[in-house]
Structure 1
Amino acid sequence: MDSEHARPRRIAHLDMDAFYASVERLRYPELKGLPVVIGGGSASQPTVLPDGTRLFSRLQGYVGRGVVTTSTYEARALGVFSAMGMMKAAQLAPEAILLPVDFKAYRYYSRLFKSAVASIAPHMEDRGIDEIYLDLSQHPEDTLTLARNIKQAVFQATGLSCSIGISPNKLLSKIASELDKPDGITIIGPGDLEARIWPLPVGKVNGIGPKANARLAAAGIHTIAELAAAAPELLQSLFGLSYAQWLLNVAQGVDHRPVVTYSEPKSISRETTFERDLHVQHDKKVLSAQFSQLCEQLEGDLLRKGYVGRTIGIKLRFDDFRTVTRDLTLPGPTGSAQVIHHAAGQCLKRIELNHRIRLLGVRISGLQPGTGPEDETNRAPEQLSLYD
């Protein structure tokens, strides 16, 4: 490429601040500054008194299998985070406000903020309901001005704040967008890798999960700086060649992935590995509850991403590490947890359950854009069983 036209890469990661909770605060401004947890069923809808006063449900005394979808920063300060069990959250923050999930509203505001950003920076990669990557390399404005303009456009369109990280690549920008939340702009330039990224825990890197984190910690590697200084042969002995090479690149801030403007998912799945191998009969209650939760989570994933699907599959891994899959194609597409559960149950009947179960997973493919009927979207999940 002609050096006159070559420009350094500027990749931005934009992440909406506590997105679901922030949308709810637009609807209920009296909740500003209060700890709020999103994840309740329809029973947690506020009650409106004759004078217009709204009474909100509290987490105190919550009983059930619910999981926190997201929480406000005030609730996070009390230790309540997404994917936490609601009963544990109730112990940590009993006075926190509990609200139901409203995917219809979140999708609406998601479309608004993405449209506003696209009017300024159309080279966009959609990463879900509340985050995007942008390639800003060809924009003439300076980086800080461009980031401020994007944030202002988002606020004018939605009334919501976002945080933006900008660097030469997706890896660093993803980390950077978290550093000055909420409502932050973080630019990673020369020298900032060592000053701002290296002191962070390795778990801040997208792609280093809990198991890899624990293995690194056992080897005395806690920060990204320590990862950068680790011997390649040590990392290879811990993880194998390809992941070790990726870790070395991560520590040096190397990431060549482009911003992809369009990508259609082939399937969406949810699975869980149990802490101990479960017996089909003796642990029937636990298996049934987990199976139900996976189907409900899959419904939520479909709603967030705006898809329905036709082919439902199930995956089992037994205590002898044998993995078995089965699938079933439905007459029409669905996004309903109940339909997914029923179809996955039919698949389950085609598997001989003669060993303890180590892993359970549910999958949907044959995806197409759609959201499913509103009555399925908004109603509280029914109690489902592995053996129905």
Structure 2
Amino acid sequence: MRRYIAHLDMDAFYASVELLRYPDLRGRPVVIGGGRRHQPVQREDGTRSYAQLRSYVGRGVITTATYEARALGVHSGMGLMKAAALAPEAVLLPVDFDEYRRYSRLFKAAVTAIAPHMEDRGIDEIYLDLGELPGVRDAVGDDPLGGVRAVAQSIKDAVRAATGLSCSIAVTPNKLLSKLGSDLDKPDGLTLVTEADIPTRIWPLPAKRINGIGPKANEKLAALGIHTIGELAAADPQWLIGHFGASYGAWLHEAAHGRDDRAVVTYSEPKSLSRETTFDRDLHARQDREQLGAIFTRLCEQVADDLVRKGYVGKTIGLKLRYDNFKTVTRDLTLPGPTQDPRVIRQAAGQCLKRVPLERRLRLLGVRVGSLSRPGAAPEGPPGDAEDSTSADARDPSVAYTLPLF
């Protein structure tokens, strides 16, 4: 049976959400990635003043940008200081993940009301299996893709009605092609790609556009003279296996020909939840102890809130630090039993902190909770192992934290 797999990607999602809040910024280059100090200021006359990239000083990076800003050469992951040199007049807005998550829930609810077979791939993208929808399954006549096109358009219309935002959607025979296709006609695209379209629409694209070809593999392919997907498709599969190994080399050959048998997975349990923040300036564990302590506590509270909201508890508490020389270290501690208590998380993360050197300044701090399960689920260990996992001090709200440095 023919498959119709869709990949839906929200257009410049974070930036588009902000433009709903600040419609006067439409048409202007806008960058998302600032901190609280970059919050717009309401003037007495009702207008707003906005921070601009030209005045930014710090170590932050761009989370996303409007298409007008991207036209100036800035993009997600770029340092804000570098972006300021390219687009000094661009408006800088703070990140508001709570609002982005709210809009994410809205658009996914609108989509699943039409196409319930959804694989959630993050805050702004999903896969859909459209094959069993009546308008697709029953499509006949001179235009068998007409039903597919109509369903895809109805999904786009539902997203806009629910959120006021646009999305791009591609429908193809598999997930790999759909991921590639959703980026072909952005923004607000509706793209249909069949096997017959692969030579004209897919093969001219850079090889690195295939999801699964990372920077190192792309660099190696380029050194071997392969730059496009078409050139990769033309390469002898045994030659690819010789250079990249049996598994990856064979996959490169299949991917370049648009072959992918993966199913749309409607549900999977997350392995961990985490929160992290990059500081506007490098902080020192002793000299900035009070500030770091407040940030550390807030991260633990935020990840605990995430656990409660999503309905999980976790046993493994992790700490992540990045130093001013960009070296990153992580430490984990497994508790006797699962928790979603911010105090327990804070205490365990503090124990992890004792096991890392703190002589250098820090530029990033993160807290992670792993080994997730649902509250009340049967314990994985032997009977009695999880009878009462927390110490008396951890359960008693009157007991203060005992933590090193911060």
Q: TM-score w.r.t. structure 1 length?
A: 0.76
**Are 2:184 and 1:183 aligned?**
no
Kindly indicate whether the alpha-carbon contact (under 8 Å) linking 2:331 and 2:355 is maintained by their aligned counterparts in 1.
no
Query: d(CA) in 1 for partners of 2:106 and 2:349?
Result: 35
* Equivalent residue number for residue 104 of structure 1: 98
**Are 2:45 and 1:51 aligned?**
yes
Q: Deviations over 1:200-253 (max 9, x none)?
A: 001111111111110110111100011111122332233211111111110111
Match of residue 333, structure 1, among 326, 340, 352: 340
Query: d(CA) in 1 for partners of 2:330 and 2:90?
Result: 42
Q: Which amino acid aligns with 1:227?
A: L
SS in 2 for 1:110: helix
Match of residue 212, structure 2, among 207, 217, 227: 207
Q: Aligned residue pairs: how many?
A: 331
CA shift, 1:158, in A, is: 0.8
* Equivalent residue number for residue 114 of structure 2: 120
Query: d(CA) in 1 for partners of 2:338 and 2:84?
Result: 42
* Equivalent residue number for residue 160 of structure 1: 165
**Are 2:69 and 1:66 aligned?**
no
> Relative to structure 1, is the Cα distance of residues 237 and 313 closer, same or farther in structure 2, using a 3 angstrom cutoff?
farther
* Equivalent residue number for residue 129 of structure 1: 123
CA shift, 1:87, in A, is: 1.1
CA shift, 1:324, in A, is: 8.9
Correspondence 1:356-367 to 2 at 5 A: 363-367=368-372
CA shift, 1:366, in A, is: 3.5
Query: d(CA) in 1 for partners of 2:332 and 2:260?
Result: 37
Correspondence 1:9-28 to 2 at 5 A: 9-28=3-22
* Equivalent residue number for residue 23 of structure 2: 29
Query: d(CA) in 1 for partners of 2:342 and 2:191?
Result: 38
CA shift, 1:346, in A, is: 3.3
CA shift, 1:47, in A, is: 0.5
CA shift, 1:361, in A, is: 9.5
Match of residue 244, structure 1, among 227, 243, 249: 249
Larger gyration radius, structure 1 or structure 2: 2
* Equivalent residue number for residue 277 of structure 1: none
SS in 1 for 2:369: strand
CA shift, 1:104, in A, is: 1.5
Query: d(CA) in 2 for partners of 1:240 and 1:197?
Result: 24
CA shift, 1:138, in A, is: 1.3
SS in 1 for 2:116: coil
Quote the RMSD (CA, aligned, Å): 3.5
Correspondence 1:252-291 to 2 at 5 A: 252-267=257-272
Query: d(CA) in 1 for partners of 2:52 and 2:199?
Result: 44
Query: d(CA) in 1 for partners of 2:248 and 2:274?
Result: 23
